[in-house]
Amino acid sequence: MLERARVMGKWLKQNRRNVLLSTLLTMLCVVCFPANPLILTGVVEVESYQALFIIGWVAWAFGMVLVMAPIVTFPRRGGVPKGRSFVKTTRLVDTGIYAIIRHPQYTGGILAIFLTTFLWYPHWLFGLLGAAGTAVVYMGCMEEDQRMVKKFGDDYAAYMKRVPRVNFVLGLVRLIRRKRD
C-alpha cells in the first residue's frame, strides 16, 4: 500500500511537470508562430529584411519536412500496428532522417516556429521567446530519450551514442564517418 502511494505521488509530480512544460510550450508557440499575433495586431512593430525573410522561408520549409518525418517514417519502418497512431512504434527506427538526428519532429518545430519567427520579424522579443521555446523543446527531447530507453533498452542507449538529439550538422558528419568506416 505504501509503495503504491509512493508510485502515485511520483506519477503526479511528473504529470504536473509535463502539464506545466506543455502549457509553457503551447503559449510560446502561439506567441512565436510565424503568422504572429503580436505582429498582426500591431502590438510589436518590426522592420523586415528580404534576405532574412527568404532564409526564414527555407528554415520553415525544412522544419515542416522534419515535423512530418515520423508521421511518414514510423508506420513504414517502426512496426506500427495497422490502424494505430504513428507514435505506437514497436521497433527502433535508426535509418533515414533518424540516422542523422534522434528527434526530427522537435528539431523541425524549433526551425519552423522559433527560428522562422525571429528571421521574419527580427526583434529582441522574438529572440528571447525563441530561446525560451528552444530550451523547453530541448527538455522535451531529453524526457523523450528517457521514455525511449525504457521502451527500447540498450538498443536505444547505443543509438543515443551514435546519433545526436537535434544537431543536424553533427549528425550528418557522424553519418558520413560511419559510412566511410
113-137 pLDDT tens trace? 889 999 999 999 999 989 998 998 9
Domain that holds residue 155: 2-180
Mean local confidence (pLDDT), 95-116:
94
Contact 106, 87 (CB under 8 A): no
In our burial notation (b when 16+ CB lie closer than 10 A, e otherwise), range 65-80 reads: ebbebbeebbbebbeb
Residue 86: what pLDDT? Answer: 86
CA pair distance 44, 40, nearest whole angstrom: 8
Give the CA distances from residue 57 to residues 16, 46, 118, in Å, rounded to whole numbers and listed in that order: 36, 17, 11
Residue 31: what pLDDT? Answer: 63
Kindly report the CATH number assigned to the domain that includes residue 95.
1.20.120.1630
pLDDT exceeds 90 at position 4? no
Phi/psi region, residue 121 (left: phi>0; alpha: psi -120 to 50; beta: rest), is: beta
Q: Name the pTM for this structure.
A: 0.80
Residue 128: what pLDDT? Answer: 92
Q: Could you tell me the pLDDT band of residue 6, with boundaries at 50, 70 and 90?
A: low
Highest-confidence segment of 1-5, 18-22, 146-150: 146-150
When divided into structural domains, the chain yields a total of 1
CA pair distance 104, 110, nearest whole angstrom: 10
Range of weakest confidence among 25-34, 87-96, 161-170: 25-34
82 by DSSP, 3-state: which?
coil
Residue from 114, 106, 108 nearest 131 by CA: 114
Mean local confidence (pLDDT), 70-88:
90
